[in-house]
């Protein structure tokens, strides 16, 4: 027998993304949790301990009390008048009930409905989310229901953050302080060179994720945009379209958020009329982007950890897909913008987050598909790739798009930040130090232009300490003995660096 959200889904035939965790009642005395290979969870509970499991209110109580909050299911449920009337009756019968008051608050927050209700004197206030189980947003008292609202975001955009062991451990790393300490330890000239490489790496990687190789002009424009990240001000439509104009070609520049339905689809073959992702309709873009902006601002107000706020806002942007082109690069740029606005990363410094995503592209892609696929599969549509048109026949309500679990997204980005600090930044510093030591030793006897010598050392390092035959022309005026000495000198100074690269 299904319980909680799954029971409500089946009872009202709610068209919502499938649950990752399902509770069922069984004729067994012992509770059991079963986790599948894909992470889906089945929780089996002894029926005799549960009491009434037939009514809507009992299932709603079970969901609010024992399961993770799911605003998509609740939004779909409260579209039904029967459910709203049941909550009204619940409030009438048990006006002091914590779960009745939570249901009433959530129903009003998610819809335009208003309940006839008066809080009994002396009723204790209840937090909507348990801070021990969730990362919460700013506390806002709802005096009508005696509930402290502490969700992240707004009705137009509200990601959920479960306080998992992994997330808690990553937050405890104090990565912002570690970035500052690593940078403060560098001489200004060394820091400038390291930062130059990090900008180059981030610029190349954000395009490479989309299988694009930008020309020097576009790469330079994107770098300048990265350098401007963190400018003060709330995220706005004007700001987003200005950013977009700096990362796409002239023919793709847009002057406002999209006014039509867009979609993502793999090109060619039999799949060309199948959409991989159908974002929210144009009518929802403005409200949802306002919600994204609100979450982004939580970083600067210290109401939410900067990496969590940046992750939710950045993935929110790519989920909304507010423009026809450039959404992926804008989403990755927004990570840097929010992190620098909150001073998590210092002015002028960029972490190569896109390079990290590129190294773990299957995981990054899976996280994007974890949002897009289950929502698109719920829609009935006609797609004509030849004419570039799509007709979505199904309703696209706000609750289908505005609410999602961002826990794994935040864990991923926190891990990327951690690796940027522990590996990428330190690796570049080690490279520069070894490079300088190699140059100093070789300059004592080798008469070669600085630019040529730098290139020669770089190529030998790329060849793991050896100059390949195909690159021998870089040292065509040198004897084999001289090349061997250069290789040996380079290997000696780069020994630790090369060892780390192999590991």
pLDDT in tens, 194-233: 899 899 999 999 999 988 888 888 889 999 999 999 999 9
| Whole-number pLDDT of residue 362 | 95
Nearest residue to 160 via CA among 171, 168, 170, 150: 150
What does the mean pLDDT of the chain come to?
93
171-181 pLDDT tens trace: 999 999 999 98
Domain ranges of the chain: 175-423, 443-502
The predicted model gives 443-469 an average pLDDT of: 93
CA distance 285 to 268: 29
Q: What is the pLDDT of residues 89-107, one digit of tens each?
A: 999 999 999 999 999 999 9
pLDDT of residue 270: 53
Confidence (pLDDT) at 502: 63
The Cα–Cα gap between 313 and 358 comes to 20
| pLDDT attached to residue 85 | 97
Structure token pair of residue 172: 């405890």
Rounded mean pLDDT, 138-160: 98
Q: With a cut of 50, say whether residue 76 has pLDDT above it.
A: yes
Instruction: Say whether 149 sits in a helix, a strand or coil.
Output: strand
* Structure-token match 């679990």, residue found: 405
**Is the pLDDT reported for residue 301 higher than 80?**
yes
pLDDT tens-place string over residues 305-355:
999 999 999 999 999 999 999 999 999 999 999 999 999 999 889 999 999
What number does CATH give the domain 175-423? 1.10.3290.10
**Which 3-state string (H, E, C) describes 393-405?**
CCCCCHHHHCEEE
What average pLDDT does range 17-27 have in this prediction? Answer: 89
pLDDT given for residue 267 in this prediction: 62
d(CA 428, CA 191): 10
pLDDT higher than 90, residue 258: yes
CA dist 184 and 179 (Å) reads: 9
Check residue 269 and give its pLDDT: 47
Is the pLDDT at 271 greater than 90? The verdict is: no
Decide: 47 and 1 in contact? Cβ < 8 Å: yes
Listed ranges 127-131, 428-432, 443-447; the one with the highest mean pLDDT: 127-131
pLDDT in tens, 315-328: 999 999 999 999 99
């Amino acid at each position: 027998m299904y319980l909680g959200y799954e029971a409500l889904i089946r009872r009202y035939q709610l068209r919502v993304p499938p649950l990752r965790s399902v509770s069922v009642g069984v004729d067994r005395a012992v509770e059991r949790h079963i986790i599948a290979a894909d992470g889906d969870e089945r929780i089996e509970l002894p029926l005799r301990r549960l009491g009434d499991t037939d009514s809507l209110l009992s299932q709603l109580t079970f969901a609010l009390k024992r399961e993770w909050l799911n605003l998509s299911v609740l939004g779909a449920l409260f579209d039904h008048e029967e459910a709203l009337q049941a909550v009204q009756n619940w409030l009438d019968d048990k006006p002091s009930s914590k779960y009745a008051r939570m249901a009433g608050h959530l129903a009003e927050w998610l819809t335009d409905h208003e309940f006839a209700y008066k809080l009994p004197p002396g009723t204790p206030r209840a937090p909507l989310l348990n801070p021990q189980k969730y990362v919460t947003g700013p506390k806002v008292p709802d005096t009508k229901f005696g509930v402290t609202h502490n969700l992240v975001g707004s009705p137009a955009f509200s990601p959920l953050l479960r306080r998992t062991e992994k997330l808690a451990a990553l937050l405890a790393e104090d990565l912002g302080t570690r970035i500052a300490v690593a940078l403060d330890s560098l001489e200004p000239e060394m820091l400038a060179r390291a930062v130059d490489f990090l900008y180059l790496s981030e610029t190349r990687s954000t395009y490479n994720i989309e299988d694009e190789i930008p020309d020097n002009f576009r790469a330079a424009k994107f770098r300048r945009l990265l350098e401007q990240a963190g400018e003060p001000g709330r995220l706005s439509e004007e700001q987003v379209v200005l950013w977009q104009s700096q990362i796409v070609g002239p023919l793709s520049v847009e002057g406002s958020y999209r006014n039509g339905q867009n979609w993502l689809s793999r090109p060619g073959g039999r799949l060309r009329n199948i959409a991989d992702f159908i974002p929210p309709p144009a009518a929802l873009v403005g409200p949802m982007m306002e919600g994204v902006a609100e979450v982004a601002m939580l970083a600067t107000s210290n109401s939410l950890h900067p990496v969590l706020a940046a992750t939710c806002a950045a993935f929110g942007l790519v989920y909304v897909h507010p423009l026809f082109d450039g959404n992926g690069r804008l989403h990755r740029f927004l990570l840097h913008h929010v992190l620098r606005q909150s001073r998590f990363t210092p002015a002028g410094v960029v972490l190569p987050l896109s390079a990290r995503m590129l190294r773990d592209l299957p995981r990054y892609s899976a996280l994007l598909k974890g949002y897009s696929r289950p929502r698109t599969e719920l829609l009935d549509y006609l797609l004509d790739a030849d004419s570039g048109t799509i007709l979505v026949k199904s309703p696209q309500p706000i609750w289908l798009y505005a609410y999602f679990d961002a826990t794994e997204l935040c864990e991923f980005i926190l891990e990327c930040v951690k690796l940027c600090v522990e590996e990428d930044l330190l690796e570049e510093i080690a490279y520069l130090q070894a490079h300088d030591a190699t140059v100093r030793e070789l300059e004592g006897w080798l008469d070669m232009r600085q630019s040529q010598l730098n290139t020669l050392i770089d190529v030998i390092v790329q060849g793991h300490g050896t100059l390949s035959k195909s690159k021998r022309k870089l040292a065509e005026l040198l004897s084999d003995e001289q090349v061997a000495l250069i290789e040996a000198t380079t290997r000696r100074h780069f020994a630790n660096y090369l060892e780390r690269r192999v590991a």
